[in-house]
Amino acid sequence: MKGMNIPMRVGGESMRPLCLEKERESFYSLMDEEKCYEMLREARWPDGRVRCPYCGGEDIAGPWRSVHAPECYRYRCRRCGRGFNDRTGTVFEGSKLPLRAWFLAIYLVQLNHATAEIARELPCDYHTAHRIVWLIREREMQIEEGRQLQGVVEVDEIYQTAGHKGQAPRGEARSLGRSPRRRGKKRGRGRGSAAKDAPALIGMVSREGKMVLEVAPDVRRESLAPLFEKAVKRGSTIYTDSASCYRFLPEEGYTHASVNHSRREYARGPVHVNRAEALWSLWRPFIATFRGVAQRNLPAYARIFQFRRNHRHLNAFGRLYLITSLAVQNAPRPFLHLRRFLDLLFSRRMFVSPIPI
């Protein structure tokens, strides 16, 4: 800029300003810890009345400021006599990271940044960032749990490449009942399936705006019927293409109509699946960020994409506040022993833990 004399490194490969060569060159260093705690208290107690996380009592003494963390207020419940602070009983409890690091991680997750990139922005290593990211994603999935569509719903399917990649430790076989497959395994002819490392993704888009994305091992009736029963209210109208895998829908209590793409029929009055087909142009760049997804983790990523899509009217900061409002509810401590943490975290999920033990 004119009038500014910024010292630059010359004579070497890097031309970065010297002011960025310091340790605190991340956006994290510009965040205000006090403001983050104010937002945490607003999300946890929106009416301004502090409640005890142990007994729910409202007769609270305090707040007091801690010497080591003056931004985090401390309280004492006169009803049960126990002390607590702003983090007690939340997903942030027990973490040594500053609250601004958590908020920055939530924000970057909403922008679909990879875990390695988030670790570079936070004052922590990759493994800590990986655990934080999955705690955030678990809150996203919790928000979308039990969503059911109704009215007019468009349905389409694709087959996502997702296998069991990687080498077994010390040449041993994993618990898959076989040796690990090599990368670049070619799929056989016919429709995809989990056995071919190409499970089906079933996209269901309501004309009212919401959507559900489910993972099926194949497209047989035995696999699809439970998904439709959970995701679409009986009596709804479902539009699909002419694939034979949807012919059972009238027997399950749905009104079914289809268009035949092979005959160049893409719309017949209100009957079309354009919204459902357009969903995949958003899914592919989303999943490409993660550079390949294991089959056991695919349902988790599908639910995360569903959360982002259903809350697209919010910007990244709006989704940050939504996740924070859920994260301040009573939750398992994030830094318990890893196996106990995974048991608590995934006891209600339909997918296997994405964190290797």
Mean pLDDT for the stretch of residues 182-201: 70
Confidence bin at 248 (pLDDT 50/70/90): very high
Instruction: Judge contact between 122 and 101, C-beta under 8 A.
Output: yes
Tracing tokens 């489910």 back to the chain, one arrives at: 214
Q: What percentage of the chain exceeds 70 in pLDDT?
A: 76
Q: In Å, how far are 45, 129, 131 from 95, measured between CA atoms?
A: 21, 12, 11
Please tell me the predicted confidence (pLDDT) of residue 183: 53
Total-model pTM: 0.76
Residue 146 in this model has a pLDDT that exceeds 50: yes
What type of residue sits at position 340? R
Q: Taking the domains of the chain in order of start, what are their residue ranges?
A: 27-144, 147-163+191-310
Instruction: Provide the sign of the torsion angle of the four alpha carbons 58, 321, 86, 36, taken in this order.
Output: negative
Please tell me the predicted confidence (pLDDT) of residue 280: 94
**Rounded to whole angstroms, how far apart are CA atoms 238 and 255?**
6
Residue 169 in this model has a pLDDT that exceeds 80: no
Q: In Å, how far are 33, 204, 238 from 151, measured between CA atoms?
A: 46, 12, 8
Confidence bin at 175 (pLDDT 50/70/90): low
Q: Which of 50-64, 139-153, 158-172, 227-241 has the lowest mean pLDDT?
A: 158-172
Tracing tokens 């990523």 back to the chain, one arrives at: 301
Residue 256 in this model has a pLDDT that exceeds 90: yes
Mean pLDDT for the stretch of residues 57-79: 89
Residues facing 154 on adjacent strands: 205, 239
Instruction: Judge contact between 240 and 258, C-beta under 8 A.
Output: yes
Mean pLDDT for the stretch of residues 286-301: 85
Residue 339 in this model has a pLDDT that exceeds 80: no
* Topology, domain 147-163+191-310: Nucleotidyltransferase; domain 5 (3.30.420)
| Tokens found for residue 65 | 């400021």
Mean pLDDT for the stretch of residues 82-106: 88
Mean pLDDT for the stretch of residues 282-305: 88
Three-point CA angle 53, 55, 61, nearest 5°: 70
Mean pLDDT for the stretch of residues 63-70: 86
